[in-house]
Structure 1
Amino acid sequence: QLKRPFKCDTCGKGFRSSQNLKTHENTHTRNHPFKCEICPSGFNQKRLLENHMDSHNMMCKFCNKKFKKESLIARHIKQYHDGEFKCDLCEMRFEKPEYVKIHRARKHKSE
Structure 2
Amino acid sequence: PPRLGRHLLIDANGVPYTYTVQLEEEPRAPPQREAPPGEPGPRKGYSCPECARVFASPLRLQSHRVSHSDLKPFTCGACGKAFKRSSHLSRHRATHRARAGPPHTCPLCPRRFQDAAELAQHVRLH
Fold agreement, TM-score > 0.5? no
Normalized per residue, which structure has more strand?
Answer: 2
TM-score by length of 1: 0.43
Relative contact order (alpha carbons < 8 A, sep ≥ 6): 1 or 2 greater? 2
TM-score by length of 2: 0.39
Normalized per residue, which structure has more helix?
Answer: 1
